[in-house]
Amino acid sequence: MDEMEHKFLGRSTGYAYVFLLIVLSIYNLIQLSNNRDVSFTSFVLITSVAIQWGGYEWFKHKADQTDKEPGQILYITIVLTAILFIFGLVALMFHGK
């Protein structure tokens, strides 16, 4: 894949991600107004934004070797996101019982 194809792929993936966030946000707001319950889509929406932010910070830090930002913050963010994801899955397993 050359640079131009890579750029096109990145842009189309970005557009798809923004579309996904907008649709999930609208759906989530409708569900919250009807049921007043936090649904699985809320969890997916929050987790995807956290993963995108964490990934961006991780790749930015890895690309710039002169960056003095401590890498421990990135590791802590990744670990906390994983823990939140696991607790969310466990909560969803016992939600209906």
Give the 3-state secondary structure of the chain.
CCHHHHHHHHHHHHHHHHHHHHHHHHHHHHHHHHHCCCCHHHHHHHHHHHHHHHHHHHHHHHHCCCCCCCHHHHHHHHHHHHHHHHHHHHHHHCCCC
pTM for this predicted structure: 0.53
The answer to whether the Cα torsion of 49, 55, 58, 63 is positive or negative is negative
Distance CA 28, CA 45 (A): 9
Q: Is the pLDDT of residue 35 over 80?
A: no
Does 30 score more than 60 pLDDT? Answer: yes
For residue range 44-94, what is the model confidence (pLDDT) as tens digits?
887 888 788 777 777 777 777 666 665 667 777 788 888 888 887 887 777
Higher pLDDT: 18 or 42? It is 18
